[in-house]
Amino acid sequence: MQTKYINYKKIKLKKIEFREYQVNIAETSFKKNTLIVLPTGLGKTVIALILISKIIQICKKEEKILFLAPTKPLVLQHAKFLKESLKIDCESISIFTGEISPEERNKLWTRSKIIISTPQVVENDLLSKKIDIKDVSFIIFDEAHHAVGKYSYVFISEMYKKHRADGYILGMTASPGNEIPKIKEICKNLNIKNIELRTKYDSDVKPYIHNLEVIWKEVFLPKEFSYTIQLLRKSLSDRLKFLKEFKFIDSASVARINRTKLLDAQIKIQKEIKSRVKIPKILFQAASIQSEALKLYFAIELLQTQGVNALNNYFQRMNKEVLTKNSTKSSKSIMSDQNISEAVAYVKSLDIEHPKLQEIINIVEKQLSKAPNSKIIIFTHYRDTSLKVYDILKNIDNYKPVRFIGQAGKDKDKGLTQKQQADIISKFKNGEFNILIATSVAEEGLDIPSTELVVFFEPIPSEIRNIQRRGRTARKMSGKVIILITKGTPDEGYYWASKRREKLMRTELELLRSKIDNKTHTDFFNYDNIDNINNQSTLKDYEKNNQEIKIIIDHREYRSRVVRNLMELGISIESQQLAVGDYILSSRIGVERKNVDDFLNSLINGKLFLQISKLRDAYSRPMLIIEGEGLLTKRNIKHNAIFGSLVSIMIDYGIPIFTTKDDIETANILSLAAKREQKKDKKSVSIRGEKTSMSIQEQQQFIVEGLPNVSSILAKRLLSKFGSIKSIINATENELQDVNGVGKNIALKIIEILNSEFDE
């Protein structure tokens, strides 16, 4: 049968196979902002390509198309596909990543028609005003299930909605999650007005689905592991009994306490600590013991599901932490526990590894014997395990393994740069490597069509990640997935959890489809009731209220989400290198922002009061914001030391302290303070010490505001009445009281301050 190809003006001839469902979805998506939910391997990117080809023809010459993807390998993959498929100058298709300098990105933005980028880079460039979202006519959000919480997709979409209400938006995912509320959140965050949903059972999709065989293979723990597990459980049991005795855990049996119950206990303990004025020692003890229990639970799980090597590395890192200044009380307690010491010593003596490792060898050998040109992906949850798997495969003939990990380094294990990641994928495709040992970085969207086998070293509870891992095979041909499960361990629970959640996701998607098919989905896209949005100020209200409000921020704060939140509130941001403070709200207000970890670290290393002193000297109305939770529980610091530092900052330095739960609360405080200063009190925004940035009148007012109980309004009245600072200084008590708002007490206090001898 002759192959039929897509025939669009801007798509190369005989390049893309015609599939009716792709064309139909693209036509619908052209009419309204759409979320595509389509199984992996069925060409979501082709639908994006069709839309790009249509929009290029109707958008203005200077307008751009922005294609966003979560990882650089995906960015490179999409760029290659577009360059190979579109009939436009390849020079007009550019890639944005963190490895390209902001200046170079700015040049590329100016001359490019299509930009393919990771979202974090675009977010940073929007914050620093190096690019203008108004220039964009179409945005594609690949792996759109990320568009929740504080992910960059949410901010970019919010900015786009604000500046380009007429722009086109397309979201694409194979796995949006297992709950309708989450899908609705994704749609709200991306301003989606329609969902195009297909499953592998739909008649128009079924011909393109390839058979996928899923096998779960059980292995059994070696009896040599039992003694170590027994010692670890003994230590864990002692801690669980304490938590149960003081009712932080509600369970009939210690043996039935799991990770979820431990995390619930943490929430309960923190809630108790926050609700008390005078905090009993037992609560701090409980917080530490809960942390110890969670670490021990994790250690047992590591041995059961990953093996001796992973557990050894875990305890080595904990022992290394204990020797540092910032060691936690829980780590010290664990490493001084006699049962733990014995378990660590015993596990080091074991000359046996987890049976999964031998099973990996057997699976790979069987696959390559049957099909020598096969490509295999082995997924591991932990980087330590990926290294161990690599070490056992690299010396076997005809095995050409390679690790595919993230960018972050871990101890001596350096991460891969984005360039190295892209190079590995290319070499895996062309056969230089035939076994890819990957962590979660390879789960999303990688186009490796000829992978015959995917192996899960362990099951994972997330239905989204399960679908993504499986999607690395059976894309262009039949494929196989093998999931290794250790009998009688958390592996079994994770496997069934993912099965249950995936089944629930299918049910929810079918429910959603029925609503759409029945034309009753209008309410689904009515976002007014999400998060009680009717009871909050809208973004437009914020823009109106905060018009022309500006905050100067230190350039190092650009990585903070506070800046992003300020922009969403309509605040104008200017970045500078500040010698003192993080945010300048006016000529007199400078703000130091510290998250809880920063505050405690600066207290330990002695830098805190030096910074506070500089802040006080630089601004007449300095502020300190401590952001986050766990101020009294995150470090092994005596609480009186923490309380003493707070008291000293407020009393000795005269600096008010605000505590905020998160970056959203911090941004709200900064926004309100800046608005009060710049709107009500008409203060300019300038850096303290830079006299040239203020007029003489502003400098005069600035000095007078330093007098006790003198507001900006009162300072203006005093200067208007007396004409100069010198005249104010020479004024009598009665003359001062002639000024509206200056009573006897204020007048006496001003005279006292101006005439008192300085006593150091």
Pairing outcome for strands 136-142 and 64-68 = parallel
- Partner residues linked to 297 by β-bridges: none
**Ranges under pLDDT 70 in the chain:** 1, 252-253, 277, 445-450, 474, 513, 515-524, 526-547, 636, 681-682, 686-695, 712, 759-760
For residue 69, give every residue at least 6 positions away whose Cβ sits within 8 Å of its Cβ, in sequence order, or none: 75, 77, 78, 116, 117, 118, 142, 143, 445
Count of C-beta atoms within a 10 Å radius of residue 381: 19
Do 361 and 302 have their domain in common? no
Among 349, 375, 393, identify where a domain stops: 349
* pLDDT value of residue 547: 52
| Residue-wise burial string across 723-755, b where 16 or more C-beta atoms lie within 10 A, e elsewhere | eebeebeebeeeebbebeebeeebbeebeeeee
Among 334, 349, 364, identify where a domain stops: 349
204-222 tens-digit pLDDT: 888 888 888 999 999 999 9
In CATH, what number is assigned to the domain containing residue 374?
Answer: 3.40.50.300
Across 596-683, the runs of DSSP E, i.e. the strands, are: 623-627, 657-660
Do 33 and 176 have their domain in common? yes
Helices (H) and strands (E) in the chain, counts: 29, 19
- What pTM was computed for the model? 0.70
Contact 354, 365 (CB under 8 A): no
Contact 684, 698 (CB under 8 A): yes
User: Is 49 among the domain residues?
Assistant: yes
* pLDDT value of residue 184: 87
* pLDDT value of residue 297: 94
Do 662 and 735 have their domain in common? no
Among 300, 320, 349, identify where a domain stops: 349
Give the count of domains, the chain: 5
Do 188 and 297 have their domain in common? no
Q: Residue 396 has which token pair? A: 């076997």
Amino acid at 40: T
User: Is 631 among the domain residues?
Assistant: yes
Do 203 and 281 have their domain in common? no
User: Is 509 among the domain residues?
Assistant: no
Residue where the block lists tokens 């949005």: 533
User: Is 3 among the domain residues?
Assistant: no
Do 196 and 240 have their domain in common? no
Do 193 and 271 have their domain in common? no
Do 361 and 425 have their domain in common? yes
In CATH, what number is assigned to the domain containing residue 282?
Answer: 1.20.1320.20
Closest by CA position to 232, among listed 316, 326, 153, 301:
301
For residue 328, give every residue at least 6 positions away whose Cβ sits within 8 Å of its Cβ, in sequence order, or none: 291, 321, 634, 635, 636
Do 685 and 732 have their domain in common? no
User: Is 617 among the domain residues?
Assistant: yes
Q: Residue 56 has which token pair? A: 């290029």
In CATH, what number is assigned to the domain containing residue 713?
Answer: 1.10.150.20
User: Is 291 among the domain residues?
Assistant: yes
Count of C-beta atoms within a 10 Å radius of residue 415: 14
Q: Please give the residue range of the domain that contains residue 498.
A: 212-218+354-503
Q: How far apart are CA 133 and CA 64, in angstroms?
A: 9
* pLDDT value of residue 546: 43
Q: How far apart are CA 328 and CA 343, in angstroms?
A: 21
User: Is 15 among the domain residues?
Assistant: no
Q: Where are the alpha helices (DSSP H) in 652-711?
A: 663-675, 696-704
Do 194 and 117 have their domain in common? yes
Do 438 and 558 have their domain in common? no
User: Is 179 among the domain residues?
Assistant: yes
Do 637 and 656 have their domain in common? yes
